[in-house]
Chains A and B, each alone.
Chain A
Amino acid sequence: MNESFDIRSMESHIEVHKFHAGSVIFVTVLTLGVQAFVPIYFPKFSVLDLPLLITIYFGLSRRNPSTGLLLGMMIGLLQDSLSGPTVPLGLYGIAKTIIGYLASSIGARLDTEHPAARFALTVLFFGVHQGIIILTRRILLAQPEVWFTMRLGIAALINAFVAVFLFTLLDRLRKS
């Protein structure tokens, strides 16, 4: 039995979760609405990147890289559209496309149902997402950005903490 065979047989035990198309669209629109609306009353809420969290969630659950990256692209472009002229269309689109792809690819190889795995993966994806945005800003937009701040580190942990509960809530939308 060679190693690659082992990996494939492990993959075959990982369940692929399906969602109603309507629920994915509803969650996406709701998330963008909440992201834009709640900080009016709770400014600290903007530390959360809910569109990123749902990109990660649907990527990890669907486990189909093509679907994951296309959904990530849609969510990212919608976020760009709502972010004002200082954020050109494509900035978050590129970052979330890659996150959607990575989340789906990892979801197809690992069991990501455990809260600890979800916490760790969200921290990782938050960092990668931020890295892609800063890289895009630096290279394509010639905007000097700091690679890491303490605020970003704290934001990654807060997002991961919220993701654990949000993902449990979103698990209820899965088709049985």
Chain B
Amino acid sequence: MVAIPSRHRSIFLLAGVVVLQVLLLAVQIKSESQGRLIRAWTVGAISPFERAGVSGVGSIRGIWNHYFALRNTSFENERLKQENDRQKLQITQLQGKATEAERLADLLNFRQSHHEVPMLAARVIGTGADAASQTIYLDRGDKDGIKKNMGVITPDGVVGKVVESYSNTALVLLLTDKESGVGAMLASTRIQSPVGGLGEPRLSMKYVSNDDTVNVGESVVTSGMDRIFPRDLPVGVVSEVKSGNPFKLIRVRPSANLERLEEVIVLLTLQPLELKKAADPGTPPKPAGAATTETKKP
């Protein structure tokens, strides 16, 4: 048996490890298994830190707001009576929480106004570990009824869809990811075309003929053709239109602020969501008033 010189051992090890990983890649491409077990373990190990981080940031925000509230109160004390001070302190503290409350109220209002659609509010606890893929982790998972391919939205518009659901965590592919797409149409002309991500903040609307008229500023809404999102949910606004070959090059600015997501809504159904009442052509889109065949409550 030929012994490997010690100075070459690391090269052989490198070759072996790289070949193994190439095989691992090949297996995933072939079986599309994507190593779910390993991912579940890693997410399970990291997500508690992320939850703690989100909770910690919330506490720091509270302390920060409280600190300024107290500072403001000390200035107020010089000019106001004791009773008024106490009331002002309460008001200041409430103002410190107003931003978060506004967001949560938006979510609640949205849920209440679309009670036919089973949905669940979730908090964003992390993002994908590489800059190339546009993904986020939610603090809800299998145990809360979240399944793969469920739609994720905010009151502002479409966010993406669930691509993996673990026991307490779910992974969402954002609309801006290169692999992402949603059935969409122009709100005014009802021209249908999928909208997909480019790996950058703006989206691309594909397959619109050069003969069709598309104007900058026009609203893009879901068409419901992907059977994930109900019709007429806001997707974005056309921000750039150029002639192309064979189709127009259309860039769309997402309606939802996908770079700063903190809370989202998961549409808890895998059944196609049907339109209850179509929006009037030419009017700005409203979030979906869609019905669903599933009666499960969030």
Tell me the A residues contacting B by CB distance below 8 Å. 29-30, 32-33, 35-37, 39-41, 43, 46-47, 49, 51, 64-66, 69-70, 73, 77-79, 81-94, 97-98, 101, 104-105, 136, 140-141, 155
Contact = CB atoms under 8 A, between A and B. Distances in A.
Contact of A89 (B34, B124, B179): B34
Contact of A81 (B11, B28, B43): B43
A30 B49 CA distance: 8
A65 B46 contact: no
B11, B132, B137: most-surrounded residue (chain A CB, <10 A): B132
Contact of A91 (B17, B25, B49, B173): B25
A82 B129 contact: yes
A88 B49 contact: no
B250 to A, nearest CB: 21
A86 B133 CA distance: 7
Given A66-B9, A81-B39, A90-B28, A36 B129 contact: yes
B175 interface: no
A101 B50 contact: no
B133 A88 contact: no
Given A33-B53, A141-B29, A39 B127 contact: yes
Interface residues of B, number: 52
A55 B44 CA distance: 23
Interface in B107-156: 124-133, 135-137
B17 A90 contact: no
Contact of B132 (A66, A87, A94, A101): A87
A160 B35 CA distance: 32
Given A37-B126, A40-B261, A89 B135 contact: no
A83 to B, nearest CB: 4
Contacts of A51: 129
Given A36-B46, A36-B50, A82-B126, 7 more contacts: A36-B128, A69-B13, A78-B129, A84-B128, A89-B24, A90-B22, A136-B25
Given A88-B34, A141-B25, A65 B14 contact: yes
Given A81-B43, A82-B42, A88 B13 contact: no
10 contacts: A49-B131, A70-B13, A79-B130, A81-B42, A81-B43, A82-B42, A84-B173, A86-B178, A88-B29, A98-B18
A81 B163 CA distance: 13
B10 A69 contact: yes
B4 interface: no
Given A29-B46, A73-B17, A94-B22, A86 B131 contact: no
B179 A86 contact: yes
Nearest to A73: B17
A145 B24 CA distance: 21
B260 interface: yes
Contacts of B137: 36
